[in-house]
Amino acid sequence: MSWQIINEILGLAAIDDEFCQRLLVDPLRAAQEQGFQLTSREQSILHRITARDLHELSQQVLVYLAPENLDS
């Protein structure tokens, strides 16, 4: 997942409560419905995330992007 996409998604979620709530319920669908063009890797990461709030979501993205997890 590119840092640009992460920043765009999280930035929008920080200022748009409706998008943030959709992102927490179904991150992949919310990002796609918002028009974000995602690679298969990015889709895979968002599909795996389950978070209660934006902070938790961003932490999970960071975990999935850790160097030791990039091959999974």
What is the C-alpha separation between 53 and 69, in angstroms, rounded?
Answer: 22
pTM over 0.85: no
Split into its structural domains, the chain has a count of 1
Those residues with Cβ within 8 angstroms of residue 15's Cβ, 6 or more apart along the chain or in another chain: none
Instruction: Give the SS3 label for residue 43.
Output: helix
What domain range is 19 assigned to?
3-69
What is the C-alpha separation between 11 and 3, in angstroms, rounded?
Answer: 12
- pLDDT tens per residue across all 72 residues of the chain: 577 888 899 999 999 999 999 999 999 999 999 999 998 888 988 999 999 999 999 999 888 877 655 554
Instruction: Give the SS3 label for residue 52.
Output: coil
pLDDT at residue number 72 = 47
pLDDT at residue number 13 = 97
